[in-house]
Amino acid sequence: MYAERVLSGMRPSGRLHLGHHHGVLKNWVKLQEEFPCFFFVADWHALTTHYDSPEVIADNVWTMLVDWLAAGVDPAQATLFIQSRVPEHAELHLLLSMMTPLGWLERVPGWKEQQERGEGAELSTYGFLGYPLLQSADILIYRADKVPVGEDQVPHVEITRELARRFNHLYGREPGFEDKAREAVRKLGAKRARLYHDLRTRFQQDGDDEALEQAKALLDETQNLSLGDRERLYGYLEGGGKMILVEPEALLAPVSRMPGLDGQKMSKAYGNTINLREAADSVTRKVRTMQTDPARMRRTDPGEPERCPVWQLHMIYSNEDTLAWAQRGCRSASIGCLECKQPVLEAILEEQEGLHERAQPYLDDPGLVRSIVADGCERARKLAQETMRDVREAMGLDYG
């Protein structure tokens, strides 16, 4: 009923590194070609852990946006915006908080683990407990039906689906819904109305999912329906009320195993990162001084790539021939470690050259990023306001 839409956000928690590039941004770049995408800077989310030092967030916001643009996120294809510039997120978060059972939030991994580990009082805040609820508001306010996430974030999408269902169940029942829905069916015209009835019966009586899909397709291709009637017909089809909020699907992002300089997952917490736009001499120094297989004490000692963090980078950056060359050379000690690191280093530097090039215009003229974000915020806000109009109306909050 609503247009396909992807929503994804990132907390501005510092400079992005190659783990973000390979794990998230490359996927965004692909998605922006396939769907309308909304990518946002989750600055309010950053306050859950930085509420006592908000000053670090401001700089990170703009640096991160340049990182996105450098990675190929294209403002001509995707809408880029900042969460706090669309205050409707906060309004929906508040309204959802009224109907969200505490238990739903307490069982979300993250809060549960933090409580079990008995971690510091600084995370025993409502902001931390309510974090998934704000995330749900972020998604639901754009009626986004697709949310790219890693496996560990699936429970957050699941709670969003439950919230949308609960909201639609509580507030989607307008007075006289059945009569209005039947009236809307008549507006489909005799032939389509008959087909709609048949398909609805097949779904509701026999659980025929194919019939449900056909009926949805029928509604999608019917032009002259008002938004209200369209919502009613969707709701009537599935036996519910009006569908006001859309249940999103988790789009499982391809797993990226970007290793850090020590072979663990690349993460700022491990101090093993290469930044997305790091200076070439710094990248060179980091790669050249990377640990290798400890068994290769001397140049003449054979090594085993499986024990070496450099090999993991080869797996990301090297082609079949180079991989075979490195394996053979390592096991026979016919190449040294510096020699083996060279193709990896060159591949990273080449990748970074593209990133630097794309970032340069935005560094030369920071006003460009400001104006991209201003446009994005305006587009995002318009959609958010539309949803909030429906939400307020459904909850009886439009006092006129």
Residue 330 lies near ligand SF4 (rule: CB under 6 A): yes
- 60 is a site residue for ligand SF4 (CB under 6 A): no
CB contact set of 107 (below 8 Å; sequence gap of 6+): none
**Which positions from 69 through 88 interact with ligand SF4, judged by CB under 6 A?**
none
CA–CA distance, 59 with 348 (Å, rounded to integer):
26
Given 308, 345, 369, 384, the residue binding ligand SF4 (CB under 6 A)? 308
Single residue of 61, 64, 340, 373 touching ligand SF4 by CB under 6 A: 340
Q: Is 348 in the site for ligand SF4 (CB under 6 A)?
A: no
Q: What's the Cα-to-Cα distance from 379 to each of 34, 72, 358, 383, 386, rounded to whole Å?
A: 19, 20, 24, 7, 11
Amino acid identity of residue 159, one-letter, is I
Binding of residue 261 to ligand SF4 (CB under 6 A): no
User: How far is residue 115's CA from residue 348's CA, in Å, rounded to a whole number?
Assistant: 40
Q: Closest separation between CB of residue 171 and ligand SF4, Å?
A: 60
Q: Which is nearer to ligand SF4, 215 or 283 (CB)?
A: 283
The residue from 23, 148, 303, 376 that contacts ligand SF4 (CB under 6 A) is 303
| 216 DSSP 8-state letter | H
Residues 6 or more apart whose CB falls under 8 angstroms from that of 22 comprise: 256, 258, 316
**For residues 365 and 19, what is the distance between their CA atoms, to the nearest angstrom?**
27
Q: How far is the CB of 323 from ligand SF4 (least distance, A)?
A: 10
CA angle 374, 382, 387 (to 5 degrees): 140
Contact criterion met (CB below 8 Å) for 322 and 314 = yes
Looking at beta carbons only, is 196 or 311 nearer to ligand SF4? Answer: 311
Other beta carbons within 10 angstroms of residue 319's beta carbon come to 11
Of the listed pieces 201-209, 217-225, 306-314, 357-365, which binds ligand SF4 according to CB under 6 A? 306-314
Q: How far is the CB of 322 from ligand SF4 (least distance, A)?
A: 11
Select from 124-132, 236-244, 251-259, 330-338 the region that touches ligand SF4 (CB under 6 A): 330-338
| Nearest partner of 312 among 67, 19, 29, judged by Cα | 19
Is 337 among the residues that bind ligand SF4 (CB under 6 A)? yes
* Distance in angstroms (rounded) separating the CA atoms of residues 212 and 190: 19
Over the window 262 to 301, marking each residue x when it contacts ligand SF4 by CB under 6 A and - when it does not, the resulting string is: ------------------------------xx--x-----
Positions in the binding site for ligand SF4 (CB under 6 A): 292-293, 296, 303, 305, 308, 310-311, 326, 330, 335, 337, 340-341
